[in-house]
């Protein structure tokens, strides 16, 4: 989360509210953190010198605290991104890192997406086997969930393939 916030602020200076607003867009996919975790995280980053604040009291508007990343913050972010493994991470972790793509090198991004592609492909074959072998022993919920997983994995795989093709070309 700390680094997730840091990655946002590396794109452009934002307030805590802005970050929440942006993430709200993806709430149906990955959820959105509460202010109760967002604000304390910003305070912690500030104390560690990884971000700085600019308190802007705009006329006729409530005060806003615009946070910017510092050099120390950038260093910490890139160190974190460097040692990022992401082995078998859930969809949520994948999307969170995807949003931070701007902070990765083109080669790093490609590697990351390839890695994910392989993982999803593995899970797809695993799911297909489960569906194929134990077809009638499954209850409704398991059948639906398996079927849903299959649909989503297929969609993600084709997205990864076309995105990788687009980035390469």
Partner DNA sequence: ATGTGCATGTAACTGGTTACATGATTCG
Partner DNA sequence: CGAATCATGTAACCAGTTACATGCACAT
User: 138: phi > 0 → left, psi -120 to 50 → alpha, else beta; which?
Assistant: beta
Query: Which residues, 6 or more positions from 31, have their beta carbon under 8 angstroms from its beta carbon?
Result: 92
Out of 28, 47, 60, 88, point to the residue binding DNA (CB under 7 A): 60
Please count the residues of this chain forming the interface with DNA, following the rule CB under 7 A: 23
- Do 117 and 164 contact (CB within 8 A), yes or no? yes
Q: Which of residues 4-43 bind DNA (CB under 7 A)?
A: 15-18, 31-37, 39-43
**Is 21 a binder of its own copies (CB under 8 A)?**
no
Residue 75 contact among its own copies, DNA, none, beta carbon within 5 to 8 Å by kind: none
**Is 65 a binder of DNA (CB under 7 A)?**
yes
**Is 159 a binder of its own copies (CB under 8 A)?**
yes
**Is 72 a binder of its own copies (CB under 8 A)?**
no
**Is 155 a binder of its own copies (CB under 8 A)?**
yes
Distance from C-alpha of 16 to C-alpha of 99, rounded to nearest angstrom: 17
State the minimum distance, in angstroms, from the CB of residue 87 to its own copies. 11
Distance from C-alpha of 155 to C-alpha of 36, rounded to nearest angstrom: 34
State the minimum distance, in angstroms, from the CB of residue 122 to its own copies. 9
Structure tokens at 24: 């709200």
Structure tokens at 60: 């006729």
x/- letters, 122..151, toward its own copies (CB under 8 A): -x--xx--x--------xxxx-xxxxxx-x
Contacts 24+ apart (CB under 8 A), 126-129: 127/153
DSSP secondary-structure letter at 59? T
> Which of 22, 152, 8, 29 is closest to 93 using CA atoms?
29
Residues that bind its own copies (CB under 8 A): 7, 11, 25-31, 88-92, 95, 98-103, 119-120, 123, 126-127, 130, 139-142, 144-149, 151-156, 158-159, 163
């Amino acid at each position: 989360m700390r680094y997730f916030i840091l990655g946002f602020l590396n794109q452009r200076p934002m307030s805590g509210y802005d970050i929440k607003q942006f993430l709200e867009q993806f709430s149906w996919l990955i959820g959105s953190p509460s202010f109760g975790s967002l604000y304390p995280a910003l305070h912690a980053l500030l104390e560690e010198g990884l971000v700085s604040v600019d308190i802007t009291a705009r006329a006729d508007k409530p005060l806003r605290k615009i946070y910017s990343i510092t050099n120390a913050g950038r260093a910490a972010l890139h160190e974190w991104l460097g040692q990022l493994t992401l082995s078998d991470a859930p969809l949520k972790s994948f999307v969170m890192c995807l949003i931070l793509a701007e902070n990765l090198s083109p080669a790093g991004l490609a590697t990351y997406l390839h890695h994910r592609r392989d993982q999803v492909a593995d899970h797809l074959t695993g799911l297909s086997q489960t569906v194929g072998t134990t077809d009638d022993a499954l209850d409704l919920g398991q059948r639906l969930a398996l079927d849903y997983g299959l649909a989503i994995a297929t969609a993600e795989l084709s997205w990864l393939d076309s995105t990788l093709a687009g980035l390469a070309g």
